[in-house]
Amino acid sequence: MSENKNVLMIASSLERGFVDKNVIDIAIALKNNGFEVSVISAGGKMVKELKKEGINHYLLPVNSNDFFVVRRNIKKITEIAKLNSIDLIHTFTPHSSFYGFKISKLTKIPYITSFLKIYKKTFWPFTKKRINYLSKGKLVIVPSEYMASFVQVTYKIPNDKIAIVPQWVDTDLFNSRNVSAERIISTASDFRIPEDHFIITTVGKLQKDRGQSLLINAVAQLPKEIRERIRCVIVGSFKEHKRYKTELENLAVKLGVEDMIHIAGETSDIPALLMLSDVYVATNIEPKASMVTMLEAESLGRPIIASNVGSTPEYVLNDTTCKTFDPKNINELIDAIVWSLKITEEERAEISQKLSTNVRLNFAKNTIPQKIVNIYKYMLGLK
Write out the residues near other proteins by the rule CB under 8 A.
Answer: 160, 163-165, 371, 374-375, 378, 383
**Shortest distance, position 370 Cβ to other proteins, whole Å:** 9
Strand ranges inside the chain, DSSP E: 6-10, 36-41, 56-59, 88-91, 111-114, 140-142, 162-164, 198-203, 230-235, 261-264, 279-282, 304-307, 322-325
CB of 159 or CB of 268, closer to other proteins: 159
Q: Give the SS3 label for residue 292.
A: helix
- Report the chain's C-alpha Rg in angstroms: 22
Q: How many CB atoms lie within 10 A of CB 182?
A: 9
Partners of 359 in beta bridges: none
CB of 234 or CB of 368, closer to other proteins: 368
CB of 121 or CB of 342, closer to other proteins: 342
**Shortest distance, position 183 Cβ to other proteins, whole Å:** 35
**Shortest distance, position 320 Cβ to other proteins, whole Å:** 9
Work out the burial of residue 316: count CB atoms within 10 Å of its CB; fewer than 13 is exposed, 13-18 middle, 19 or more buried.
Answer: buried
Contact 155, 161 (CB under 8 A): no
**Shortest distance, position 311 Cβ to other proteins, whole Å:** 16
**Shortest distance, position 161 Cβ to other proteins, whole Å:** 9
CB of 30 or CB of 199, closer to other proteins: 30
Helices 212-220 and 330-341 cross at an angle (nearest 10°) of: 70
**Shortest distance, position 359 Cβ to other proteins, whole Å:** 17
**Shortest distance, position 372 Cβ to other proteins, whole Å:** 8
Residue 163 CA to residue 69 CA, distance in Å, equals: 33
CB of 163 or CB of 255, closer to other proteins: 163
CB of 165 or CB of 260, closer to other proteins: 165
If we measure between CA atoms, which residue out of 298, 263, 308, 302 comes closest to residue 279? 302
CB of 102 or CB of 323, closer to other proteins: 323
Question: Measuring CA to CA, how many Å separate 60 from each of 28, 132, 323, 329?
Answer: 20, 22, 44, 47
